[in-house]
Structure 1
């Protein structure tokens, strides 16, 4: 599986575990909601800035976004 797909699955999983809507995550991360949707579908090549915003929004370490075992 492609890295963008794995990352998208991880973001969607974290969002659903916290019962966040895409709109809510977009607001707290200061990212456009369509961009988050594209990330979850594996259609975006995500920048380091966006990765940092997502980690901060989930209140986790950046490295945890790449832990695909959980």
Structure 2
């Protein structure tokens, strides 16, 4: 896991925000998948820091979160 410099990564990615966030701009994150990593950022601070994890780590997180609902 690492914090990437936003300007070096963010402009080259397609970011996706949860459909649950609505048009009001609530508390939400955006996610973009790279070749070997997944990048996560605050949707209200898109120029802010990124959290970068491996695709395997992200898949484990999603699987764990999905099983909790």
TM-score range, shorter chain: under 0.3
Which has the larger helix fraction?
A: 1
- TM-score, normalised via structure 1 length: 0.26
Which protein has greater RCO, CA pairs closer than 8 Å, 6+ apart?
A: 1
- TM-score, normalised via structure 2 length: 0.27
Which has the larger strand fraction?
A: 2
